Amino acid sequence: MPVKLKLICLILPMLAALAQPVLAETAERPAPSGGVLSLLPPPQTTNHSITLAGRKLDYQAKAATLSLLSGKGDVTAEIFYVAYTLEPPASGAKDPQRPITFVFNGGPGAASAYLHIGALGPRIIATGADGEFLPSPQRLIDNPDSWLDMTDLVFVDPVGTGYSREAPGQDTRDFWASTRMPARLAPSSGSISRRTAAPGRRCSSPAKAMAGSARRCSPGHCRKISA
């Protein structure tokens, strides 16, 4: 991995951590009324459960977009993410120290889908013993190797991939330069963190991390690597 990329991987979570205490709570923004951003789906939140290592875990899944703002407060892009947060037992409280991991796929131009439904998420695409796709129709199954028992997970699509899109008048290439990516995504990571957790819970958590793959791989192969 190039030195510059290694530095970005180290700097991004630190910037997100430093940005959190000074950023106000980010309110849900209405969907833009014009251009391609108006076609993005509205936020959705659902509740599920999975059994990992003999332990039943209840979790919440949230799919939404976060507005990326310019210095003037104008929307420059919408960043799509899917967040999975562990729900506490009925008799317990949420752990303010629970880790959170932001997951990006390799690139360039790759959404987080490969790591999301191919390796780390609580639900993955069923594959053959060799890790390759099965014949259609595809189906989702519970992932016995999910990281959800260790950390909350946020899968993020960079601008120009997945559902993440630039606003009208913006150039997608402006969001792809490696030297600008940490500065653009760090505030977003902090906002996503607060938006997917109970008030005060995530800001106090010292364990924030970033995960990703070096390059694209099939879901089964990604899962083998992550295990």
Please answer whether residues 122 and 135 qualify as being in contact, where contact means their C-beta atoms are separated by less than 8 angstroms: no
pLDDT tens column, 61-82: 999 988 888 888 888 888 899 9
DSSP state of 83: E
pLDDT tens column, 5-35: 333 343 334 333 333 333 333 445 555 666 7
Q: Cα 164–157–176 angle (5° rounding)? A: 80
- Whose CA is closest to 221, among 114, 75, 112? 114
pLDDT tens column, 164-206: 888 888 888 777 766 555 555 554 555 555 555 543 445 555 5
CA distance 91 to 167: 45
Token code pair at residue 43: 């936020």
Q: What is the pLDDT of residue 84?
A: 96
Please answer whether residues 43 and 65 qualify as being in contact, where contact means their C-beta atoms are separated by less than 8 angstroms: yes
CA distance 51 to 149: 9
Q: What is the pLDDT of residue 209?
A: 77
The partner residues of 152 in beta bridges, in order of sequence, read 100
Q: Give pTM, 2 decimals.
A: 0.73
Quickly list DSSP for 113-153. HHHIIIIISSEEE-B-TTSPBPSSSP-EEE-TT-GGGTSEE
> Does the pLDDT of residue 116 top 90, yes or no?
yes
CA distance 36 to 168: 7
Q: What is the CA radius of gyration of the chain?
A: 17
Quickly list DSSP for 15-70. HHHHHGGGSPPPPPPPPPSSSGGGGSPPPEEEEEEEEETTEEEEEEEEEEEEEEE-
Distances (CA, A) of 69 to 6, 42, 166: 26, 19, 11
Half-sphere exposure of residue 142, counting CA atoms within 13 Å on the CB side? Answer: 12
131: left (phi over 0), alpha (psi -120 to 50) or beta: left
